[in-house]
Structure 1
Amino acid sequence: MTARARLITLVVAVALLGTVAFASVMHASQRAGERDTAQPGGPPVSAGAVSLTGSGRMVFRNMAWGPYRDDLVSVPVGDPGGARVAASVRCLRFYAAAGTGVCLRKEDGALQETYFASILDSGLRTLHDFPIAGIPTRTRVSPSGHMVAWTVFVGGDSYAGSNFSTRTSIVDTRTWELTPSLEDYTIIKDGRPYHSADVNFWGVTFSDDGHFYATLATKGQTYLIRGDVAARTVTTMRTNVECPSLSPDGTRLVFKKRVPGADPDEPWRLYALDLKTMAETPLAESRSVDDQVVWSDENTVMYGLAGDYGDDLWSVPADGTGAARRVAVAALNPAFIG
């Protein structure tokens, strides 16, 4: 190749590289301009103020890929699939009641990840951080906002099998008195004190500041328990109940139940339990739900199911009628404000 030909080839190559670089810069600039107006795989998202007070809003974890993934976002209750306002608070699990929020979050360190339970005020400012011992899985706030509970995996990462270990903690936000583990409570099973090294607790739902329901697992069986904070006791009520969620009027629980013949990796169906009659009613959701449902009103529950971008929010009537319907894509852990 002559010197002239080599020079022409070099000039063409430089021009081509310049064109590619310019196109890349323009594309990046366009994407940056879209940050505050569109979210890949979900409704439009824009940064703004999110509050845990007021009325008519729903706050949840945004699951759509993009700059706002895992941020807490707010939408109108009447339009859960609509445009989202994002706070600069990122959570792996979230819940709120009466102006108190709890954010189970991760911090990436140089050597390992660490996890915290952050108690938030109504403006999502951190009031107190508690180090937690494993992967966040469940969290709840009492109706008054005074009591907060959370569960983490300290061994394993799924409830589907038997090879896992959990730790459930409760804190009083008025005094910051922490119960590090419900395993410190006395267990009353079949009317007698019970002790076993394999005990696990998860899925607290508060009835008031002094009492709660949750799941106890031991010897391959799960139990619905009722807890008494002052007495530091939990008492078994019935078997095969996981992740209970108490209705706003305190009369019913919706929970996940293992059903015979189901896929071992997807063993659960949603049921409602009448606490007066103890009658169970299967809900009109035929898929396995591995979530602690949230009551959106007296007659409806919401829960997460796997979607294209993580999880989608679904709802179903709590009395066994109707049908399940998707209410928001790329969303998880809803809390209803006001």
Structure 2
Amino acid sequence: MTFRVRVLVLLSALLVLAGVATASVLHASARAERRDRPQAGGPRIVSGGVALKSPGRMVFRNMAWGPHRDELVSVPATDPAGPRTAAPVKCLRFYAASGTGVCLQAVHGPVSDTYRAVILDVSLHERARYDVPGIPSRARVAPSGHYAAWTAFVGGDSYAGTNFSTRTAIVNVRTGELTSTLESYRVVKDGRTYRAADTNFWGVTFAADDRTFYATLATHGTTYLVRGDLRTRTVTTLRTDVECPSLSPDGTRIAFKKRVPGLPKDAPWRLYVLNLRTGRETPVAEPRSVDDQAVWRDAGTLVYALPGDYGADLYEVPADGTGTPHRLTTAAVSPAYLG
């Protein structure tokens, strides 16, 4: 190869690299512009104060494009599609109760993202933070505000498949004592201690006594509803085919997603409600697959997310199997109703 040819090859390579760099800059600029530009026809959003003890309000993660994308916003619970008040706190998953919030965040690094759980006070100020070992998935706070829990994927990326692993943590907000994984708890199955290397937990929901919680346990291809005891550090299996439980305000029922035979592998769930006293399961009137941990708006209504144009929209449906689903608001996920 002559000197002239080598020079031409080098110049050609530099031009290609310059073109790639320019395209990357333009693509990043377009994404940034989309992120910072308010969503056309989207909800009205203004900056302001958001507090976690505001009766009659609902707080959730805003998914609408614009400067407040991913921030926590507050709306009247009676007007969820109305104007949103945004706080400068970004979360991937969120929940709150009794003035305590848990916010699962991404920390963007030069090579890859890391994740953390931030405990928030009533004014959304950080009280504590904890490392999260994977992509955040679920978050809950006990009715008293004294405990918080979160689940993260540490392998795979979907509950619909089988190739995934989770880590579920519980923290005592008052003392800071952290259980980094529920796999450290003793499992009682069929009256006996159960041990298996493939146990996974997710979807904690707390009772009002600051002792009892419920969650999903998966092992050997089967999912179980388990009742946990924070004092004895045990979980006891109750029944099969229960995922992402959510305890009703009166502690008598659990909303959950259930795999239904015959549905597509990537959309296998229907939303059900279990009566803990009678054991009766009632399917709610939502025909679509719900991959979410439902929230009880009140004693008779469930709220949950379904895919939407900007990530997710929030819907509600009666918990007794009657009625029809109703979309509450667009571009929203991870709701918490404040008492």
Q: TM-score, normalised by structure 1?
A: 0.89
| Larger-Rg structure | 1
Aligned to 1:163: 163
* 8 Å contact from structure 1 (residues 40, 64) kept in 2: no
User: Are 2:227 and 1:226 aligned?
Assistant: yes
Q: Cα–Cα, structure 1 residues 270 and 186, in superposed 2: closer, same or farther, change >3 Å?
A: same
Deviations 1:296-338 (A, max 9, x none): 0110010000011110000000000000010000000100112
What secondary structure sits across from 2:158 in the alignment?
Answer: coil
Match of 1:56 in 2: 56
Residue 331 in structure 1 maps to residue 321 in structure 2: no
Tell me the CA shift for residue 41 of structure 1.
Answer: 5.2
Question: 1-side partners of 2:183 and 2:89: how far apart?
Answer: 31
CA deviations 1:22-62 (Å, max 9, x no partner) are xxxxxxxxx99x97xx5445211111110101211100000
> Counterpart of 1:118 in structure 2: which amino acid?
V
What amino acid is the match of 2:168?
T
Q: Which amino acid aligns with 1:219?
A: H
Q: What SS does the aligned partner of 2:307 have? A: strand
Q: Tell me which residue corresponds to 2:190.
A: 190
Counterpart of 2:172 in structure 1 is: 172
Distance 1:76 1:185 in 2: 40
What residue is the counterpart of 2:272 in the other structure? 271
The aligned amino acid for 2:65 is: W
- Secondary structure of the 2:66 match is coil
Q: Distance in 1 between matches of 2:167 and 2:117?
A: 13
CA contact (8 A) 1:41 1:64 kept: no
Specify the SS of the correspondent of 2:183: helix
Corresponding residue of 1:247:
248
Which secondary structure does the structure 2 equivalent of 1:196 belong to? coil
How many angstroms does 1:122 deviate by?
A: 0.4
1:16 maps to: none
Distance in 1, Cα, partners of 2:251 & 2:303: 17
1:1-338 correspondence runs (5 A): 39-40=39-40, 42-208=42-208, 209-338=210-339
CA contact (8 A) 1:133 1:154 kept: yes
The residue matched to 1:270 in structure 2 has which SS?
strand
RMSD: 1.5
Question: Residue 261 of structure 2: SS of its match in structure 1?
Answer: coil
Q: Structure 2: which 5+ runs fail to align? A: 1-32
Q: TM-score, normalised by structure 2?
A: 0.88
Indicate the SS of the match to 2:273: strand
Letter aligned with residue 44 of structure 2: P
Q: How many pairs does the alignment contain?
A: 306
* CA deviation after TM superposition for structure 1 residue 110, in Å: 1.8
The Cα of 1:111 is off from its aligned counterpart by 2.3
> What is the CA–CA distance in structure 2 between the aligned matches of 1:280 and 1:53, rounded to whole Å?
34
State the alpha-carbon separation in 2 of the partners of residues 97 and 127 from structure 1: 15
Aligned to 1:6: none
Query: Is the CA contact (8 Å cut-off) linking 1:201 and 1:215 kept in structure 2?
Result: yes
List per-residue Cα deviations over 1:171-229 (Å, max 9, x = no partner).
Answer: 00110000010000000011111011110000000013111000000000000000001
